[in-house]
């Protein structure tokens, strides 16, 4: 009688990779779901607008949206550079300078979009953020098609 076969190490790795991907997917979904609520909760300052005959108060962020966008974009850039370094090495990134010049306008437009999104959400609510964020995906796909002549990732 033959001994039962043990699972191959490759199959174990693929199961582990699949589990990690599933957990990351769930984490991303949770962050996406809670982000609008967390934005609303972070509106702890009162903003007063004085009109000719009355005053209106509304909750707003106690921080500048510019600082959030700058820190967010810096962290994303650092993580992207780390991923490139681990995958192929940073010198490989700069071998094709035309790619950098192609991506620069998209990066600047994305950062501007983040700033405008936070500014609009400061005046509105979390669900408004969801609508704007989804519109940014459509705009990014159109921009990718225009700049690169092919569909986005």
Residue 153's pLDDT is: 53
Asked if residues 126 and 40 have their Cβ atoms less than 8 Å apart, the reply is yes
pLDDT one-digit tens code per residue, 121-146: 777 776 777 777 777 778 777 877 88
pLDDT the model gives residue 150:
62
Position 3 scores a pLDDT of: 55
Q: Which helix (H) or strand (E) holds 120?
A: helix 97-123
What average pLDDT score do residues 55-68 get? Answer: 78
User: When comparing pLDDT for 108 and 39, which is higher?
Assistant: 108
pLDDT tens digits, 4-20: 555 566 666 788 888 88
- Name the pTM for this structure: 0.51
Q: How far apart are CA 131 and CA 133, in angstroms?
A: 6
């Amino acid at each position: 009688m033959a001994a039962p076969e043990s699972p191959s190490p490759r199959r174990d790795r693929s199961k582990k990779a699949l589990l990690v991907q599933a957990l990351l997917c769930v984490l991303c979904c949770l962050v996406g779901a809670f982000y609008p609520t967390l934005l609303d909760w972070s509106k702890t300052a009162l903003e007063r607008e004085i009109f000719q005959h009355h005053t209106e108060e509304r909750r707003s962020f106690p921080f500048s949206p510019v600082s959030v966008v700058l820190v967010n974009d810096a962290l994303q850039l650092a993580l992207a550079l780390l991923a490139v370094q681990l995958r192929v090495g940073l010198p490989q990134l700069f071998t094709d300078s035309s790619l950098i010049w192609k991506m620069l306008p998209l990066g600047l437009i994305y950062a501007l979009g983040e700033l405008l999104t936070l500014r609009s959400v400061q005046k509105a609510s979390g669900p408004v953020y969801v609508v704007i964020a989804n519109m940014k995906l459509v705009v990014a796909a159109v921009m990718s098609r225009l700049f690169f002549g092919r569909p986005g990732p």
